[in-house]
Amino acid sequence: MTAPFAGFGLGLRKPHYAAFLEGDVAVDFVEVISENFMVDGGRPREILRQVRARYPVALHGVSMSLGSADGLDERYLARLRDLIDEIDPLFVSDHLSWSRIEGFNAHDLLPLPYTLEALDIVCANIDRAQRALGRCLLVENPSSYIDVRPADMSEWQFLEAICSRTGCQLLLDLNNVFVSASNHGFDALTYLDALPLDRVRQIHLAGHSQGRAMLIDTHDQPVPDAVWRLYAHVAPRLGAVATMIERDDDIPPLAELLAELQTARAIAAQAIQVAA
């Protein structure tokens, strides 16, 4: 059995394609948005092949819609399987959310009610996805702007239940924890302390913006101090994980993202000393 992957990476975004193709960027892996490469051919797929020749690649999806009450889109799964077979990714992940119902696709990560009924549906969908993809999925905790009621459990209890029932693992997005905690008034540390951290294989670090009434998960800002503090809190109790900076908008020069990644490395190194 191979040891779980541990390292530090970045999301691969268009402004930085050339740097990743031409030079040695100091990362241990890159993450790509799966859907951007689930195409028939052309330049995007060729770029991914070339990047994959240099770096381990994690596939991060936004359209699997694990919470759809009418099940998963088989054509989507087939295309993703095709990409997995070609790229042999480090991880395959998507979100604890839904975007599609009865032929409509919102292209957003919409919130679920944490009910027993939803738990059955999500677990059935994860089982189906893992069978179709031949892979263990990493499921990411979402950020949300509605705390859907009534609920039978908290989000962290829901995540623990899906891990227990399906064998899936977790992508822990600490910015999402912070955003949802702020928007819905729960304690982020309580959330993290209750989560099954032994299931976490990947960490997302990102930034957000202040909206009129709530925090918005914009991924267009540097990682804020509050999110770094959550990382420092949880890092001593994590096993081998892949940690990355997730930036999707107002993409800065690569050097700025690498500097943020260096901060993550320093916090993780300190966590190892604390744990020892």
Partner 1 sequence: MSLLALQRDMRAWLTAQDAQAAGRIGRDARPGLLIYQNNYRAQLAACLEAIFDRTRAWMGREAFLAAASVHIERVPPSSWTLDAYGADFPQTLARLHPEDPEIAELAWIDLTLDQAFVTMDAEPLSPAALTGVDWDRAVLRLSPSLSLASQTTNAAAIWSALAARAPPPPVEAAAALGGLRVWRSRQGPRVRAIEADEARALERTRAGARFATICDDAVDRLGADEGVRRAGRWLESWLRDDLIVGVFPECSPCLAARCLDASQARTR
* Interacting residue ranges for partner 1, rule: CB under 8 A: 35, 38-45, 63, 67-70, 73, 75-76, 79, 98, 100-108, 110-113, 115, 117-118, 121, 144-146, 148-149, 183, 211-214, 216
CB of 105 to partner 1, least distance (A): 5
Per the CB < 8 A criterion, the answer to whether 90 and 56 are in contact is yes
The residue (of 98 and 156) whose beta carbon lies closer to partner 1 is 98
Sequence-separated contacts (24+) of 12-16 with Cβ below 8 Å: 12/51, 12/57, 13/247, 13/248, 13/251, 14/251, 15/251, 16/251, 16/254
Encoded amino acid at 107, one letter:
H
CB of 63 to partner 1, least distance (A): 5
The residue (of 69 and 258) whose beta carbon lies closer to partner 1 is 69
CA triple 5-263-35, angle to 5 deg: 50
Tokens of 143: 């950020």
The residue (of 25 and 118) whose beta carbon lies closer to partner 1 is 118
The residue (of 34 and 202) whose beta carbon lies closer to partner 1 is 34
The residue (of 28 and 217) whose beta carbon lies closer to partner 1 is 217
CB of 64 to partner 1, least distance (A): 9
Pairing outcome for strands 92-95 and 57-60: parallel
Per the CB < 8 A criterion, the answer to whether 17 and 250 are in contact is no
CB of 6 to partner 1, least distance (A): 32
CB of 38 to partner 1, least distance (A): 7
CB of 149 to partner 1, least distance (A): 6
Which residues, in sequence order, are bridge partners of residue 9?
Answer: 29, 244
**Helix count and strand count (H, E) for the chain:** 9, 12
User: What count of Cα atoms within 13 Å lies in the side-chain half-sphere of residue 262?
Assistant: 8
20/25 Cα distance (integer angstroms): 6
The residue (of 73 and 220) whose beta carbon lies closer to partner 1 is 73
